[in-house]
Amino acid sequence: MELNYEFMVRTFGLLLQAIPVTLKLTAVTLLLATPFAFLLALARIYAVPYAAKFASAYISVMRGIPMVLQILLVYSLLPSLLNYLFKQAGIAYNIFDLDTIWYAYIIFTFSEIAVLSEVFRSALGSVGDGQIEAGLSVGMNRRTIYWRILIPQALVTALPSLCNVTVTLIKNTSLAFMMAVQDITATGKIAASYGYNYVEAYLDVFLVYIIVCSLVQIAFRISEKHLGRFRHTSQISG
């Protein structure tokens, strides 16, 4: 197939410059979603009245609605709603000046809360109850037990799933082009339509995503090895 290689090389360079945007979208979303996801997970583990019900309803709704639809829904509603509210409240700020990446953060965070809470729930459940009892027996309070005993161990168990979640999120952020965020896909799309070099541009985008996802997976594998050291030592001594 006849491909414009010179264009491909040039676009590849442009796409590399867009990697930080994709990574920023991913990282900020994960950071924003984590505390809420943790609370939802706790609500379900301890079967907190109402909160547990809300958590499972929230998770199944988020699991059932396609990401594109969530984006279309929020992106068609939120800016004008905020504009209306700001006008009512007499705030002079023009909401349409706001960087659209904020809408992307909000939408991805809402769906990631549901995904992460399931990961946290199963990871926290994987640490034996005996550990909590042991902690209580030496006089720790629950918060210390969580911070010092439970979470560090659960985090290591959760790392493979977190890797999966992160890779899926990186792929999902490719939809941010719908909100005019200049990530990898959006940059490729613009380059493609410039000279109708669609195939070349999307091949580049395809390659860049493989590189990014590979690097993320390698990073997770290294941290798993590093943080999971205690497992091996305990196996040897035990």
Minimum CB distance to other proteins, residue 219 (Å): 14
User: What is the full DSSP assignment across 105-168?
Assistant: HHHHHHHHHHHHHHHHHHHHHHS-HHHHHHHHHTT--HHHIIIIIIHHHHHHHHHHHHHHHHHH
CB–CB of 202/25 below 8 Å?
no
Q: Which stretch binds other proteins (CB under 8 A): 60-68, 129-137, 143-151, 230-238?
A: 60-68
Is residue 73 a contact point for other proteins (CB under 8 A)?
yes
Q: Which residues of 188-223 are buried (b: 16+ CB within 10 A; e: fewer)?
A: bbebbeeeebeebbbbbbeebbeebbeebeeebeee
Q: From the list 6, 47, 50, 69, which residue makes contact with other proteins (rule: CB under 8 A)?
A: 69
Looking from the CA of 97 toward its CB, the CA atoms found within 13 Å total 3
Q: Which stretch binds other proteins (CB under 8 A): 13-21, 41-49, 80-88, 129-137?
A: 80-88
Is residue 2 a contact point for other proteins (CB under 8 A)?
yes
Q: What's the rounded Cα separation, in Å, for the pair 35 and 45?
A: 15
CB–CB of 23/216 below 8 Å?
no
Site string for other proteins, 157-176 (x = CB under 8 A): ----------x--xxx-xx-
Q: What's the rounded Cα separation, in Å, for the pair 85 and 91?
A: 9
Structure tokens at 236: 């040897």
Nearer to other proteins, 103 or 209 (CB): 209
Contact set for other proteins, span 202-231 (CB under 8 A): 202-203, 205-206, 209-210, 212-214
Q: What's the rounded Cα separation, in Å, for the pair 148 and 177?
A: 41
Q: From the list 31, 65, 219, 222, which residue makes contact with other proteins (rule: CB under 8 A)?
A: 65
Minimum CB distance to other proteins, residue 181 (Å): 14
Minimum CB distance to other proteins, residue 198 (Å): 4
Residue found under tokens 């004008």: 80
Is residue 103 a contact point for other proteins (CB under 8 A)?
no
Is residue 61 a contact point for other proteins (CB under 8 A)?
yes
Q: Which stretch binds other proteins (CB under 8 A): 31-39, 69-77, 134-142, 146-154?
A: 69-77
Residues that bind other proteins (CB under 8 A): 1-2, 60-61, 63-69, 72-73, 76-77, 80-81, 83-84, 167, 170-172, 174-175, 185, 188-189, 192, 198-199, 202-203, 205-206, 209-210, 212-214
